[in-house]
Amino acid sequence: MFGRRYAPDRSYTRSQRATGLPIQPSPIARGLALAVVSAPDDHRQRRRLAQLLVDDLSATAGLPHCEVVVADRAQVHQHDGQRLQSRTYGYYRCSFREDRVTDARIRIYHRTAVRRQVIAPKVFLNTVLHEWMHHFDFAGLGLERSPHTAGFFARLRALADALEVGFVLPPDPDAPVPVSAAAR
């Protein structure tokens, strides 16, 4: 997915420019995000908490319902016989009726690609937020597609920081290095 190049179109340009916090999450959403990180490894419990979080975020943003599915199976992946080439943590799908998003669904794979271990709680929450951001792009911003632009990742970072779970995302490569870490 990251290797694809698109000519900048309307969706790409709008996604790139929309860098701010998409919504102001509720205190309930903050609590749910933290509950997802501390939830047991049971896929049913994680799905329940993720659904509550997605419902709260979507309601706050005025978006249509988005179903969360947690598949208790290994991530879809490609392997060359020696190394893992790619894997899918989850995905977002929706339909459109009269230019409105319908039948929105987030699907998350609950087990790692090769060893089939339960994915880490931070990875699970990161995937939920990432896929919800695609829902926001389609249903909130009205984009025809949801490319992984710098704006997309800025919105995702802003949301995670507002939920006080920014620690679940990879470090921002453009963030300044803290002085204490640089002095080492």
pLDDT in tens, 9-60: 888 999 999 998 889 999 999 999 999 999 988 999 999 999 999 999 999 9
Cα–Cα nearest to 90, from 136, 63, 134, 128: 128
Provide the domain count of the chain.
1
Cα–Cα nearest to 63, from 27, 22, 30: 22
- DSSP type of residue 3: T
Residue 13 maps to a domain: no
Q: Which of 5-14, 81-90, 127-136 has maximum average pLDDT?
A: 127-136
Tell me the two tokens of residue 102.
């319908």
Residue 47 maps to a domain: yes
Query: What pLDDT sits at residue 171?
Result: 74
Residue 173 maps to a domain: no
Q: Is the pLDDT of residue 179 over 60?
A: no
Rounded CA Rg of the chain? 17
Q: Is the pLDDT of residue 176 over 90?
A: no
Query: What pLDDT sits at residue 68?
Result: 97
DSSP SS3 for 148: coil
Strands 76-79, 84-88: pairing kind: antiparallel
Residue 64 domain boundaries: 25-145
Residue 159 maps to a domain: no
Residue 19 maps to a domain: no
Residue 184 banded pLDDT, cuts 50, 70, 90:
very low
Residue 170 maps to a domain: no
Alpha-carbon distance 112 to 114, whole Å?
Answer: 6
Residue 76 maps to a domain: yes
Cα atoms in the 13 Å half-sphere on the side-chain side of 180? 0
DSSP SS3 for 165: coil
pTM for the structure as a whole = 0.84
Rounded to a whole number of angstroms, the distance between the first and last alpha carbons of the chain is: 36
Residue 87 banded pLDDT, cuts 50, 70, 90:
low
Residue 124 maps to a domain: yes
Those residues whose C-beta lies under 8 Å from the C-beta of residue 40, and which sit 6 or more positions away, are 46
